[in-house]
Amino acid sequence: MMAPVSIRDHLIHLYGEDAGEAAMTHVERLLVDFQKRTASPSVAGPISQRDLLLITYPDQVLEDGRDPLQVLYEFLEPRIAGLVTAVHLLPFFPSSSDDGFSVVDYRSVDPAFGDWEDVSRFAETYRLMVDAVLNHTSAGSAWFQGFCRGEEPWQDFYIAPDPQADWSNVIRPRSTPLFTAFDTARGPASVWTTFSADQVDLNYANPRVLLEMVEVLLGYLRRGAQWIRLDAVGYLWKAAGSTCLHLPQTHRVVRLLRAILDQAAPWARLITETNVPHVDNVAYFGAGDEAHMVYQFSLAPLIVHTLLSGDATALTTWAQSWTVPPPGACYLNFIASHDGIGLTPTRGILDDAALDRLMEKARACGGVSYRTTQAGTLQPYELNVNLLDLLSADGSDVRRFLLAHAILLSFAGVPALYFHSLFGTRGDPQAVQRTGHLRSINRQKLDRIELESELATAGSIRARIFEGLGGLIRARQSLEALDPSA
């Protein structure tokens, strides 16, 4: 077996001898400080078939006059004890758009949600997953404002690319412009914005950016996070003439972060979120030296296709061809989340006719979003729907919805359930009208009193789904054959 590549080697490979050595000195200081101030989490140990992740917004459950993080914890604790072992708190940082993913300050909790003590409370009971939104910051962040003013160290933290360079091969996840014009102290500048004009991409060719983010990640671990989710990590590194997606430097950064976690916090887990075709997705396992867990994006559209078409051929064929993760790694399986159901991961698996049928079903209860291809055409990107609405036209027939989760819970890996799935929420088309964003249909916030009343009503849709899913989860927990390492 080859010896693992050191943190120093990764840094020198990315930045050259001198800059790499200087960066290594900085990392060593961060690691010494981290180890002095950080203890292993109270909820730790190996992952097993008993583990299940709940995905939730910090302000998912609301009660007048109270901090949402406190309300959420109090609502969840008596209901999910024994069912859920890990909680993914979606971004709780101050942000300016995209429901938290346009981060203004990585090191703060939005006071509208609560404070760090409220976040750490979850870590005392569950394995806590926190988002590392590495690719971009908010245009309103102090970092980017410093860039616009030409201040150090921020003036090289973002990417104002050479307009004469070849960017024709860049793969886009959106149909919005790749570059956005901003006024700066040096005059108007076109700056890289992969996802929106309010989400400005960071420049990882500058080692100071990487070092800043390493410090941020270690801060999350110190606050109790065990699982670090690398949001949209595939777009991290940019190079003229390339696709700017899954570049070797991006994989090198993931390997570097893994090496840092292995040394500083061996109990921590790194999870990559890459909504891309299966072969590109599983590449983030590396040789067992990148992600501990990889989101399994193909599973959701294939389960939906199977249950709506009555044909399991595509799902079965794909499952039989799964890449076996390296030792100690596993898949993170889900069929609903705060985002839509991605269609890109079905490329090469479902034909155009099958995709057309899925989109027709989605439009009846939600919508379909598109991305711009390299050829400049629009390509279907995701179904923006609520899963219960998609699988049951009026929400009253929960059998197909429960069957979808029985399939999910049977797959190898760690299952993840979205809050709205566990508690039987319907879609919110009015939210789409209010915000103008298709994803809003599945991001509604719930009143605690109304939610608790509906769950307590025997025979209600919420009660039937919560009880049904609870039975399936307990069945999974009893089967050692479903241990991710089995």
Task: State both tokens at 174.
Answer: 């959106």
Q: How far apart are CA 362 and CA 371, in angstroms?
A: 17
Q: 347: which DSSP letter?
A: T
- Strands, E, within 168-251: which ranges? 179-184, 187-192, 199-201, 225-230
Q: 63: which DSSP letter?
A: -
Residues 6+ apart with CB under 8 A from 326: 285, 286, 287, 288
Pairing of strands 136-138, 199-201: antiparallel
Angle at which helix 399-410 crosses helix 299-309, to 10 degrees, equals 140
- Residues with a catalytic annotation lie at 231
For the chain, the first-to-last Cα distance in angstroms comes to 23
Residues 6+ apart with CB under 8 A from 88: 53, 54, 55, 56, 129, 131, 227, 229, 416
Q: How far apart are CA 396 and CA 351, in angstroms?
A: 31
Count of helices and strands (H, E) across the chain: 17, 17
Task: State both tokens at 315.
Answer: 């799902």
Of 79, 49, 81, nearest in space to 477 by CA:
49
Report the alpha-carbon angle 141-146-151, nearest 5: 165
